A and B are shown apart, each in its own frame.
Chain A
């Protein structure tokens, strides 16, 4: 195999590739985010055959493919399954303050949510930490993931 000479200073032509999406929440997602927005509650769907509660809720069970019709309220508390401390933005510039992102396993459920952690220093976060959701005030909630402001260590 011989080397190929590649010119690195190729003259570029610049153009854009603009796309904007308008997405629906889906049948299960609509109900989940409506409950979150209007009542500040988390709901999941339960598969009785597989004995699994899905949060965020699913319309069907990915294990047995049954439609899921049993809606159960679940706590807005959970455990840090894993986390990262982000130091750079998408353009690789340093963030003014490192940001903690965690995958929070919702208590008693299969799955959970990825979200920011707040009211905690990055060096104090650990896997297994108990956390709870902090919701925005009702008037500010729009029916989306950011209706949850962040998760914080559970106050005991």
Chain B
């Protein structure tokens, strides 16, 4: 297609916390400056900047892209804000990728920020305005409706047990105990803890859901010739995919994310992947809810439909279970359920985790076996978009 190869050469993040003293731009600066420092680049080496952040209402600041621009390193540079809801964190890398792949820039700084603690009393108050103002908001919706109904449809279609789904929350919160930036790492959590947590909107219970958070993450992208000068461990962006379904979720099959399958197929095609279950060595699927990780593993064609919960129960997705015949470590970072969920930043955290895993720099979270290829995925808008990035070394 006449495009240039693009690599991720650096990554950095802030701690994810319930309430940060730092403003949004300060969080963005902290993550961006760490990402630059990680690859010994300075802001003056950056040709363009992509900023990803979810709805303005989350930070309770209008025109958040402009508000955050200085913190993202965009002063007197080409700059764009990207936003596809929860899918933003992974999509921001896709947008950075085409800036560089196209030849427009040699380097691009990609920054994602979210500061959800500004809301009183809870950002749900802002989130519910995503519902249709004519068809749904007159009911006084609760954000959890939509997820609870999707989870119920998924469970019903395949006859799934809550304990198999809860396993994901346990796995991810345990994994997060080894993440220095995590908000909710718990080493000794059990399935019973999840099943005993308060019911919010059945079948969603407290510990099935990721916590809202403040935080920022950044990565540095570079074209082939620059990447090789900057680092001896470039992590290549081998495939990207994204796809959107109808806004009207009442016109969708809620038990299977077809739009994600389309996004995954696009990315696999670009990466030349024929057998994703063998060729992907580590995966960071989007896990704002425990069932979503499983739903997404199925949509990514990494598990059979309705079988991901069963696979999880066998330990297939555990971080250190390399003797499992179909081992596929999933959310080794601890995911949104464990590290925290500052929306756009959480998606980019997943890309950063794959970057660290493929470079062997994931510390106590490092999966064994020198993984060569990994996939990060996010999901969002009105649960209608899938965004996928495949990285390789």
> A residues touching B (Cβ–Cβ < 8 Å)?
1-4, 6-8, 10, 14, 17, 21, 23, 25-26, 29, 33, 54, 56, 62, 81-92, 98, 101-103, 105, 110-116, 122, 127, 144-146
Contact A144 B139 (CB under 8 A): no
A88 partner, pick from B20, B200, B248, beta carbons under 8 A: B200
CA distance A89 to B12 in the complex (A): 37
Taking a contact as CB atoms under 8 Å apart, the answer to whether B133 and A87 are in contact is: no
Q: Which of A25, A33, A89, A114 contacts B145 (CB 8 A)?
A: A114
Question: Which of A6, A29, A62: most chain B Cβ within 10 A?
Answer: A6
Smallest CB-CB separation from B254: which chain A residue? A82
Contacts of B149 in A (CB 8 A): 82-84, 101-103, 114
The answer to whether A1 and B13 touch across the interface, beta carbons within 8 angstroms, is yes
Interface string of B86-130 (1 = CB under 8 A from A): 000000000000000000000000000000000011101100100
- B138 close to A144 (CB less than 8 A): yes
Once the chains are docked, how many angstroms separate the CA of A40 from the CA of B135?
A: 17
Q: Which segment of B150-158, B234-242, B277-285, B307-315 sits at the interface?
A: B150-158
A86's partner among B13, B15, B142, B156 (CB-CB below 8 A) is: B142
Could you tell me the distance between the alpha carbons of A29 and B134 in the complex, rounded to whole angstroms?
A: 8
**A10 and B133 contacting across the interface, CB-CB below 8 Å:** no
- Contact check, A114 vs B139: say whether CB atoms are below 8 A apart: yes
Chain B residues with CB under 8 Å of chain A are 12-15, 17-22, 30, 34, 57, 60, 62, 120-122, 124-125, 128, 133-136, 138-139, 141-145, 148-150, 152-153, 156, 180-181, 198-204, 246, 248-251, 254, 363
- With a cutoff of 8 Å between Cβ atoms, the chain B residues found around residue A25 in the complex are 134
A3 close to B181 (CB less than 8 A): yes
Contact status B57-A84, CB under 8 Å: no
The CA-CA distance from A2 to B37 in the complex, in Å, is 13
Residue B246 contacts which of A23, A62, A87 (CB distance < 8 angstroms)? A62
Cβ of B134 and Cβ of A113 under 8 Å apart? no
User: Are B134 and A26 in contact (CB-based, < 8 A)?
Assistant: yes
Closest to A145 in B: B138
Kindly report which residue of chain B lies nearest to residue A2, judged by CB atoms. Answer: B180
Which residues of chain B are near A29, meaning CB under 8 Å?
134
Q: Which residues in B have their C-beta under 8 angstroms from that of A2?
A: 180
Tell me if B139 and A87 are in contact (CB < 8 A): no
Which residues on A sit within 8 Å (CB–CB) of B180? Answer: 1-3
B143 CB contacts on chain A under 8 angstroms:
90
Cβ contacts under 8 Å, B181 to chain A = 1, 3-4
Question: What's the Cα separation between A85 and B249 when bound, in Å?
Answer: 18
Q: Separation in Å of the A94 CB from the closest CB of chain B?
A: 8
Cβ 8 A contact of B152, one of A14, A84, A88: A84
Contact A111 B14 (CB under 8 A): no
- In the complex, the chain B residue whose C-beta lies closest to that of A23 is B133
- Given known contacts A62-B246, A98-B202, A105-B250, what 8 new A-B pairs fall within 8 Å (CB)? A1-B34, A17-B57, A82-B156, A86-B200, A89-B142, A91-B121, A102-B149, A113-B250
Q: In the bound complex, what is the Cα–Cα distance between A54 and B248 (angstroms)?
A: 11
**Minimum CB distance partner of B124 in chain A:** A90
10 cross-chain CB contacts under 8 A: A1-B13, A4-B15, A4-B181, A29-B134, A33-B134, A90-B142, A122-B202, A127-B153, A144-B134, A146-B138
A84/B148 in contact, CB under 8 A: yes
- CB pair B22–A6 under 8 Å, yes or no, is yes
**Contact B152–A23 (Cβ < 8 Å):** no
Which residues of A lie under 8 Å from residue B153 when comparing CB positions?
81-82, 127
Q: Which residue of B lies closest to A112 (CB)?
A: B250
Shortest 10 CB-CB contacts between residues of A and residues of B: A84-B148, A82-B153, A7-B21, A10-B21, A85-B202, A111-B251, A145-B138, A82-B149, A86-B201, A84-B201
